[in-house]
Chains A and B, each alone.
Chain A
Amino acid sequence: MDPVAGTAGYRGPAEVRARAPGKIILAGEHAVVHGSAAVAAAIDLYTRSSLLLRPTGEGGGADSGAVELYLRDSGLTFSWPCSRLRGALGEEISANPGAPAPCSPDQLAAIARLLEDQEIPEAKIWLSAGLSAFLFLYTSILGCRAGKAVVTSDLPMGAGLGSSAAFCVSMSGVLLTAAGAVSVGAHRGAEGWEVLKKGDLELVNQWAFQGEKIIHGKPSGIDNSVSTFGKMIKFKKGELTNLESRNPVKMLITDTRVGRNTKALVAGVSERASRHPDAMASVFHAVNSISEELSSIVELAAEDEIAITSKEDKLAELMEMNQGLLQCMGVSHSSIETVLRTTLKYSLVSKLTGAGGGGCVLTLIPTLSANIVLEKVITELESHGYRCFKVEVGGRGLQVFRG
Chain B
Amino acid sequence: MDAVAGTAGIGDQRKCAPARPARSSSRASTPSSTAPPPSPPPSISTPGPPSSSAPQVLPPTLASSGSSFCRVAAAGTLLTAPLSRCHAGEGGGADSGAVELYLRDSGLTFSWPCSRLRGALGEEISANPGVPAPCSPDQLATIARLLEDQEIPEAKIWLSAGLSAFLFLYTSILGCRPGKAVVTSDLPMGAGLGSSAAFCVSMSGALLTAAGAVSVGAHTGAEGWEVLEKGDLELVNQWAFQGEKIIHGKPSGIDNSVSTFGKMIKFKKGELTNLESRNPVKMLITDTRIGRNTKALVAGVSERASRHPDAMASVFHAVNSISEELSSIVELAAEDEIAITSKEDKLAELMEMNQGLLQCMGVSHSSIETVLRTTLKYSLVSKLTGAGGGGCVLTLIPTLSANIVLEKVTTELESHGYRCFKVEVGGRGLQICPLLLVKDRGRPDDPKARPKASGEVTVANNVQDLPSAPLGKEENMESLSDANKHDANEDVKEEVEASDEYDTGIGRLGHGSDAFGSDDETDLPFAPLGTEENMESLSDANKHDANNEDVKEEDGTSQN
A-to-B contact residues, CB < 8 Å: 272, 275-276, 278-280, 282-283, 285-286, 289-290, 292-293, 314, 317-318, 320-330, 332, 334, 337-338, 340-341, 344-345
- Give the residues in chain A near B310, CB-CB below 8 Å: 285-286, 289, 292-293
Contact for A344 among B318, B362, B366, CB less than 8 A: B366
Q: Is the CB of A321 within 8 A of B360?
A: yes
Which A residue sits closest to B358, measured CB to CB?
A324
How far, in whole Å, are A320 and B308 apart by their CA atoms in the complex?
12
A sample of 29 cross-chain residue pairs with beta-carbon separation below 8 angstroms, ordered by A number, consists of A272-B349, A276-B349, A278-B318, A278-B321, A280-B318, A283-B314, A286-B310, A286-B311, A286-B318, A286-B360, A289-B310, A290-B308, A292-B310, A320-B360, A321-B360, A322-B360, A323-B360, A325-B356, A327-B355, A327-B356, A328-B355, A329-B356, A330-B353, A334-B377, A337-B369, A338-B373, A340-B369, A341-B369, A344-B366
Smallest CB-CB separation from B364: which chain A residue? A324
How far is the CB of A232 from the nearest CB of chain B, in Å? 19
Which B residues are in CB contact (< 8 Å) with A329?
356
Main DSSP-derived SS at the B contact region: helix
B314 touches A328 (CB 8 A): no
Q: Given A276-B349, A341-B369, check contact A317 B304 (CB 8 Å).
A: yes
In chain B, positions 311-367 with a C-beta closer than 8 Å to chain A are 311-312, 314-315, 317-318, 321-322, 325, 346, 349-350, 352-362, 364, 366
Neighbouring B residues of A334 by C-beta, 8 Å: 373, 376-377
Task: State whether B308 touches A321 (Cβ < 8 A).
Answer: yes
Q: Is B307 an interface residue (CB 8 A)?
A: yes
- Which of B289-312 touch A at CB < 8 Å? 304, 307-308, 310-312
* Contact present for B360 and A282 (CB under 8 Å): no
B552 to chain A, nearest CB (A): 59
A150 to B422, CA, bound (A): 62
Highest count of chain B CB atoms <10 Å: which of A293, A314, A327, A341:
A327
Interface of A is mostly: helix
Docked CA distance A292–B369 (Å):
29
What residue in chain A is nearest B354 (Cβ atoms)?
A328
User: Are B366 and A341 interface neighbours, CB within 8 A?
Assistant: yes
Q: Which residues of A contact B377 (CB under 8 A)?
A: 334
CA A317 to CA B364, docked complex, whole Å: 14
For residue B370, which residue of chain A has the nearest CB?
A341
Most buried by A among B321, B364, B376: B321
Contact B308 A276 (CB under 8 A): no
**Which residues of chain A are near B304, meaning CB under 8 Å?**
317, 321
10 new A-B contacts, CB < 8 A, other than A283-B318, A290-B308, A324-B362, are A279-B322, A282-B321, A283-B315, A285-B317, A286-B360, A293-B310, A317-B362, A327-B356, A328-B352, A328-B355
The verdict on A324 contacting B357 (CB below 8 Å), with A279-B318, A283-B314, A344-B366 known, is yes
In the complex, the answer to whether A326 meets B356 with C-beta atoms within 8 Å is yes
Contact A317 B307 (CB under 8 A): yes
Q: Closest residue of chain A to B323, judged by CB?
A: A279
User: Which B residues are CB-close (under 8 A) to A328?
Assistant: 318, 352-357, 360
Contact of A286 among B315, B353, B354 (CB under 8 A): B315
Question: Are A317 and B325 in touch, CB under 8 angstroms?
Answer: no
* CB closest chain-B residue, reference A285: B314
Contact A318 B308 (CB under 8 A): yes
CA gap between A280 and B319 in the complex, in Å: 10
Could you tell me if A293 and B308 are in contact, using CB atoms closer than 8 angstroms? yes
Q: For residue A325, which residues in chain B have a CB less than 8 angstroms away from its CB?
A: 315, 356-357, 360
Chain A residues near B352 (CB-CB < 8 A): 327-328, 330
Verify A324–B360 contact, CB threshold 8 A: yes
User: Which of chain A's residues have a CB closer than 8 A to the CB of B349?
Assistant: 272, 275-276
